[in-house]
């Protein structure tokens, strides 16, 4: 029988938001983890030139693979053979490739809860068993080496995300090293989602490859490079899995869009523009971290990186989807329900993406503040979660 997987509830919120906008309502989109900015200007200019000169086709850019390999040397001091880099149609196919190369049906793969909704659902779709580890305030909402060490029987694999979605938390280098050591000793495969690298505010994020050379690393142009719609990502595999990964890529996905590959190569050299986006996110983060506690949302996961605020609204609701739907209808501000990221405790949380303009964040704060105040008055008989 086909495997049943859960819906992505934020998509339903987004559909409502777009319907409201089509009806003439003012909507601020903070429900998805996608930059509101476009691709770097030089990348777009290059794409225009390529459209006139190249008929396109199935293609994997050797220059882009080499540039990605050079990036690991520049950013992390790691030597990566370009042949270990597979170009993919975004991070999602890269994740499918990684899991299908590593595991057979029935394999058990550990991951943090809360965590990105597609981890759990993709594992299920591939007939793999998610082993969700509860990660709360004590663990800074991140998977730990100690938790993996205690798992009996040991899992076949572990998924690590740093910075993480939905929380933005970063795993410190010493904990990454400990995770790598535990997994090596217990024969556990490591998949590291590094899609939010480049978006850090408290400390730089290290690559798992610095501690586990045989880890499989997923990344994408969607977040830091502001190219979500271009559908371009990559997967780094160890030498032993290059052939297996290539066979799967060729049969399941062929190649990523040729135009996106040309633009991605140029985007790597647009750092001034891209770092400007990061400064905007940093300002947006500051505004929300200042405003939300004043509105009563005092329990917030540490947003070290990425562009999310994961906030506890348990003193106001036990149904985060209805909460987000009502917030959107009443204020025009779209945010994601925590239910997507944590099917057990997520009804007490919401996620706000601050990958929008600072003016949009300021306007969202103006709209949300009186709405939350009214909510708090309405639930005055309930204890405030501190």
pLDDT tens digits, 172-189:
999 999 999 999 999 999
pLDDT at 340 over 50: yes
Q: What is the pLDDT of residue 126?
A: 96
Q: Say how far apart CA 87 and CA 109 lie, in whole Å.
A: 24
Q: Identify whether 294 is part of a domain.
A: yes
Q: Say how far apart CA 19 and CA 171 lie, in whole Å.
A: 38
Are 125 and 115 within one domain? yes
Mean pLDDT (the chain, rounded): 95
Using the 3D structure, point to which of 237, 270, 303 is the last residue of a domain. Answer: 270
User: C-alpha 7: how far from its chain's center?
Assistant: 17
**What is the per-residue pLDDT across 267-286, written as a single tens digit (0 to 9) for each?**
999 999 999 999 999 999 99
Q: Identify whether 31 is part of a domain.
A: yes
Share of the chain above pLDDT 90, in %: 93
Q: Identify whether 182 is part of a domain.
A: yes
Q: Identify whether 18 is part of a domain.
A: yes
With bands split at pLDDT 50, 70 and 90, how would you rate the model's confidence at 54?
confident
Q: Identify whether 52 is part of a domain.
A: no
Are 145 and 282 within one domain? no
Q: What is the pLDDT of residue 377?
A: 66
Residue of higher predicted confidence among 115 and 6: 115
Pick from 91-95, 175-179, 220-224, 377-381: least confident: 377-381
Are 92 and 204 within one domain? yes
pLDDT at 385 over 50: no
Q: What is the pLDDT of residue 154?
A: 95
Are 365 and 330 within one domain? yes
With bands split at pLDDT 50, 70 and 90, how would you rate the model's confidence at 12?
very high
Distances, alpha carbon 374 to alpha carbons 287, 325, 361, 367, in Å: 21, 16, 20, 12
Q: What is the pLDDT of residue 3?
A: 83
Are 209 and 64 within one domain? yes
Please report how the helices 9-22 and 320-331 are oriented relative to each other, as an axis angle in degrees rounded to 10: 10
Helix (H) or strand (E) holding 68: helix 62-76
Note down the domain range covering 256: 57-270
Using the 3D structure, point to which of 220, 250, 270 is the last residue of a domain. Answer: 270
Please tell me the total count of domains within the chain. 2
Q: What is the pLDDT of residue 379?
A: 57
Are 189 and 322 within one domain? no
What CATH number does the domain containing 105 carry? 3.40.640.10
Are 277 and 311 within one domain? yes
Are 213 and 80 within one domain? yes
Are 89 and 162 within one domain? yes
Using the 3D structure, point to which of 254, 270, 286 is the last residue of a domain. Answer: 270
Are 308 and 336 within one domain? yes
Which pairing describes strands 349-353 and 336-337: parallel, antiparallel, or unpaired? antiparallel
Q: Which two tokens stand for residue 168?
A: 């933005």
Q: What is the pLDDT of residue 382?
A: 40
With bands split at pLDDT 50, 70 and 90, how would you rate the model's confidence at 31?
very high
**What is the per-residue pLDDT across 133-164, written as a single tens digit (0 to 9) for each?**
999 999 999 999 999 999 999 999 999 999 99
**What is the per-residue pLDDT across 216-241, written as a single tens digit (0 to 9) for each?**
999 999 999 999 999 999 999 999 99
Are 359 and 342 within one domain? yes
Q: What is the pLDDT of residue 1?
A: 72
Q: Identify whether 228 is part of a domain.
A: yes
Q: Say how far apart CA 48 and CA 75 lie, in whole Å.
A: 30
Q: Identify whether 385 is part of a domain.
A: no
Are 356 and 221 within one domain? no
Q: Identify whether 168 is part of a domain.
A: yes
Strand partners, 353: 308
pLDDT at 383 over 80: no
């Amino acid at each position: 029988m086909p495997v049943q997987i859960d819906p992505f509830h934020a998509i339903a919120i987004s559909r409502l938001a777009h319907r409201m906008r089509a009806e003439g309502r003012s909507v601020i989109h903070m429900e998805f983890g996608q930059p509101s900015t476009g691709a770097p200007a030089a990348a777009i200019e290059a794409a225009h030139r390529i459209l006139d000169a190249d008929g396109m086709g199935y293609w994997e850019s050797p220059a882009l693979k080499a540039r990605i390999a050079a990036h690991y040397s520049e950013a992390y001091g790691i030597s990566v053979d370009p042949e270990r880099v597979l170009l993919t149609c975004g991070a999602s196919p890269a994740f499918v490739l990684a899991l299908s190369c590593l595991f057979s049906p029935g394999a058990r793969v550990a991951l943090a809860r809360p965590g990105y909704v597609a981890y759990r659902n993709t594992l299920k779709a591939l007939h793999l068993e998610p082993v969700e580890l509860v990660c709360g305030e004590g663990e800074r909402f991140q998977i730990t080496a100690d938790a993996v060490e205690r798992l009996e029987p040991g899992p076949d694999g572990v998924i690590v995300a740093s910075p993480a979605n939905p929380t933005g938390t970063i795993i410190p280098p010493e904990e990454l090293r400990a995770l790598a050591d535990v997994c090596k000793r217990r024969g556990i495969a490591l998949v590291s989602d590094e899609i939010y690298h480049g978006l850090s505010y408290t400390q730089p994020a290290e690559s798992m490859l610095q501690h586990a050379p045989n880890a499989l690393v997923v990344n994408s142009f969607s977040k830091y490079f502001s190219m979500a719609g271009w559908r371009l990502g990559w997967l780094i595999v160890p030498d032993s899995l290059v052939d297996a990964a290539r066979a799967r890529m060729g049969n399941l996905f062929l190649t990523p869009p040729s135009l996106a590959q040309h633009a991605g190569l140029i985007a790597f050299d647009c750092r001034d523009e891209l770092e400007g986006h990061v400064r905007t996110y940093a300002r947006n983060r500051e505004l929300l971290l200042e405003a939300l506690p004043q509105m009563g949302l005092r329990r917030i996961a540490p947003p070290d990186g990425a562009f999310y605020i994961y906030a506890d609204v348990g003193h106001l609701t036990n149904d985060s989807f209805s909460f987000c739907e009502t917030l959107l209808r009443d204020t025009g501000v779209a945010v994601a329900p925590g239910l997507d990221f944590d099917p057990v405790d997520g009804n007490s949380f919401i996620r706000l993406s601050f990958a929008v303009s600072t003016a949009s964040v300021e306007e969202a704060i103006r709209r949300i503040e009186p709405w939350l105040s009214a909510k708090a008055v309405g639930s005055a008989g309930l204890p405030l979660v501190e």
